Structure formats: C-alpha cells, structure tokens
Amino acid sequence: MEIKVLGTGCTKCKSLEKMVREKVAELKLDANVTKEEDIVKIMGYGILSTPGLVINDKVVMSGRLPSDKELNELLSKI
C-alpha cells in the first residue's frame, strides 16, 4: 500500500502525517508512508486545501483531519 500525506508543512499537515504513521503501525499494515510537500505536485492531485491523504494514488480525504475511527476505516478498506 502506498500512502501519501499532502501538505506544505502546516500544523494540520504534520498532525495528519503523525496520525497516519501511528495508525499504520497500530494496524500492522504493509504500507509505505511518504509526505509530499511540493505544491506543484500537490496541485496535481486536484485538492483545493491541505492536508490531503492519498492511498494507492487515490485522494481519499482533503482539507481536514480525520477522526480516529474514520482513519481506521480509510486504511482498513484497502
């Protein structure tokens, strides 16, 4: 599983990256988590506000932080 956190470095972006890394470890997922900070690449995903979460090249969330339950559901579906 490929997971990308999209964000230029704001507090919410950093929080989402931390949440995702912790949840991947907790669920023992075989996932590669990366952070994309290049605004041009972020814009290429078509999101209007960060943070954004991309799983296997599909944008699954943007513009907010997910609840713990929502993050569980997003990561468990894949």
User: What DSSP element (H or E) covers 4?
Assistant: strand 2-6
DSSP per position, 5-74: EE-SS-HHHHHHHHHHHHHHHHHT---EEEEE--HHHHHTTT-SSS-EEEETTEEEEESSPPPHHHHHHH
Q: Which domains does the chain have, with CATH numbers?
A: 2-76 (3.40.30.10)
Cα-based distances in Å from 46 to 24, 29, 50: 25, 27, 11
State yes or no: pLDDT of 77 exceeds 80: no
ω before 51 within 30° of 0 (cis)?
Answer: yes
Statement: the pTM of the whole predicted model exceeds 0.75: yes
pLDDT in tens, 22-71: 999 999 999 999 999 999 999 999 998 999 999 999 999 999 999 999 99
Q: What is the pLDDT, as a whole number, of residue 21? A: 97
